Amino acid sequence: MTQLTVKGGWLDGAAIRKARKPYRCQYYRGSAAGGFCRKPIPPGAYYVEGEMTDCQQTRNGAFIRDKYCPECAGPEALATIADQGGGA
Let me know: does 54 contact 82? Beta carbons within 8 Å: no
Q: How far is CA 22 from CA 39, 41, 68, in A?
A: 11, 6, 12
- 3-46, pLDDT tens digit by residue? 899 998 889 999 999 999 999 999 988 777 778 899 999 999 99
55 band by pLDDT with thresholds 50, 70 and 90: low
Q: Does domain 4-84 have CATH number 3.30.1740?
A: yes
Let me know: does 62 contact 52? Beta carbons within 8 Å: no
Give the span between the Cα atoms of 5 and 83, in whole angstroms.
12
Domain ranges in the chain?
Answer: 4-84
- Upper half-sphere CA count for residue 3 (Cβ side, 13 Å): 10
* Spatial CB neighbours of 82, under 8 Å, sequence gap ≥ 6: none
